[in-house]
Amino acid sequence: MAARKIPKSYRNVTGIVSSRKNHGEAQFESTLEQDFYVQLEFREDVVGFQVQPVSIEFTDSNDRKRTYTPDVLVSYSDGRKTLYEVKYSSELQEKKDELVPKFKAAITYSKNNGLFFRIATEKKIRTTQWNNIQFLKGYAPSQVDTEYLQLITSAIEKHDLTTPKSIVEHYAFDPTARGNLIYCIWQMLAKKTLKTDISIPLSMDSPLALEGR
């Protein structure tokens, strides 16, 4: 459960991302947070995350007690756990005096609790990986054709055809079949029955592998 309830905001876009790794719904306060949570949901090295997991107490420059709540705690497959603050680069500059004491408190808290603390800006979030995820998201809702799924699985398992290009060249003999195969490959990547390195631009030469193998 989040350390505090996310309020409605008239400055930023607020909403909810459906999430398996967050064990339910992930509330966001900006489109940048939304993009980050969608990315976490898709990344293979992320096993779970918790939105606004803890409130950290600190004393400001006027000796007043304050609390700071980082945006999300991310758990990685290698055992690392990292607290993130998600902010636009411009906001970091605009609110520098306000944010620096909070971040110092978060660094101290993290060191004392076996965590890391990081700031995620649009430069770190809206990358090639994010572009690939945005592309694949459109293929996730639709049902995968069973015949094409089995064909693609067989192509990888039995014939060692490991790129969209090689699969299409081997099996598609007309434009319709070519289009259906390519569409199904993107669907399988979106649904994670196929995997590839999404840190580089997706293409017909992207190396493919079956999930879990």
Give the predicted TM-score (pTM) of the model: 0.78
Q: Other C-beta atoms within 10 Å of 4: how many?
A: 11
Question: What pLDDT does 72 receive?
Answer: 95
pLDDT in tens, 8-17: 443 467 777 7
Q: Are residues 179 and 155 in the same domain?
A: yes
SS (H, E, C) 132-170: HHHHHHCCCCCCCCHHHHHHHHHHHHHHCCCCHHHHHHH
Beta strands at 15-19 and 56-59: parallel, antiparallel or unpaired: unpaired
Q: Are residues 58 and 81 in the same domain?
A: yes
Question: What pLDDT does 27 receive?
Answer: 82
d(CA 137, CA 95) in angstroms, rounded, equals 33
Does residue 6 sit within a domain? no
d(CA 189, CA 208) in angstroms, rounded, equals 9
pLDDT in tens, 40-73: 988 889 999 999 999 999 988 788 899 999 999 9
Q: Are residues 117 and 171 in the same domain?
A: no
Q: Are residues 76 and 59 in the same domain?
A: yes
Does residue 24 carry a pLDDT above 80?
no
Question: In angstroms, what CA-CA distances link 43 with 91, 169, 199?
Answer: 26, 29, 10
d(CA 65, CA 18) in angstroms, rounded, equals 35
Domain boundary among 109, 126, 143: 126
Q: Are residues 36 and 108 in the same domain?
A: yes
Does residue 119 carry a pLDDT above 70?
yes
Domain boundary among 126, 149, 178: 126
